[in-house]
Amino acid sequence: MFQLSLYADLHGRHKLERERRTNTSPFSAIPNHHPLTLSLDVSLDFSNFIISSAPFSMIVLGKEIDGYLTFFYYNDLERAARFYGEVLGFELVMSRDWVTIFRVHETGHLGLVDQVRGSHKPSPEKPVRLQIWVRDVLSWFNYLNGLGLVEPPRVYVGEELRIKTCTVKDPEGYTVEFCEYITPYGDPGAEPVEGWGRGLSSYRKGELVGEIRSWCEAARNEAKDMSLSAPFMPINAGFMEEAMREEADREGVSYYLEKALIRTDLFPNVDLDDKWVYVIYKKPEVIEEYHRLHDEWRSLLSIGMYVG
């Protein structure tokens, strides 16, 4: 079996390799460049990619905020965990005997806490609701109503707030609302914005422009043969393309939109599902080598012989 892998050289950069699998470490042959190892001569520095794809931050009072975690408290933790994991399909990221945490979105999490160990106790009244922003509330309604969970069994279309919602109760009475916004935050005085709630904040746009400029400068100065942008959703492609084109023209470098980046265990926790990235380079031979390697990766995937 063959493997495409990334390894660090003595300069802290990374290279892509195709090598025959043995019972030894896949990195053991690299220092001596074993004949079975086909090396990509262009060094690819993924460190910038890993750093820039860390959870989105916001600056509040001059300090960074990277995400949030809301806790609900339960008499029957196991039953609640099954609801959020199996029925709603949230991603389980941690489970202990007294607390379970699900990822709801990139940096938004929900924690379920057992009443014995929790700092708060469950109560019959639940003056709180979890609202989930969705693209198509009707699809969620059809799924949840088919399970007999929607209360009341209809999609609510707001007038005072321009939203479409449906709600369910979790096993101990917390309300979970699935909400499709027609205008930003449902503001009745605002115009509809396609894809709102899935786009980029003004702060994040400014942050990304600064990152793009840095990647382009690195390519221009040949500090790196190739840089990768942070992953982004296709819905943000218009903004990213405009910023990428402007900075690339300014720095005299080229770029390529990659919609299927090579997966590797060097950055296993980076979310690339449905995400695009830009490959930024100066020398034409760099992108030629990248495409060659990408084709080889695809070929190994197609025959089930790729191991990240």
pLDDT above 60: residue 22: no
Contact 228, 279 (CB under 8 A): yes
Bridge partner residues of 167 (DSSP): 177
pLDDT of residue 275: 82
Quickly list DSSP for 243-308. HHHHHHHHHT-EEEEESSPPP-TTSTTS--TT-BEEEEESSHHHHHHHHHHHHHHHHHHHTT----
User: E strands within 68-118?
Assistant: 68-74, 91-95, 99-103, 108-114
**Mean pLDDT of the 24-48 span:** 33
**Mean pLDDT of the 218-245 span:** 84
pLDDT of residue 308: 61
Which of 108-122, 227-241, 244-258 has the weakest average pLDDT? 227-241
pLDDT above 50: residue 4: no
Greater confidence, 15 or 64? Answer: 64
Taking all residues of the chain, what is their mean pLDDT, rounded to a whole number?
77
Encode pLDDT of 108-136 as tens digits: 899 999 998 888 999 999 999 999 998 88
Bridge partner residues of 255 (DSSP): 280
Contact 219, 287 (CB under 8 A): no
pLDDT above 70: residue 51: no
| All domains of the chain in start order, with CATH | 2-56+200-302 (no CATH), 65-186 (3.10.180.10)
pLDDT above 80: residue 26: no
pLDDT above 50: residue 201: yes
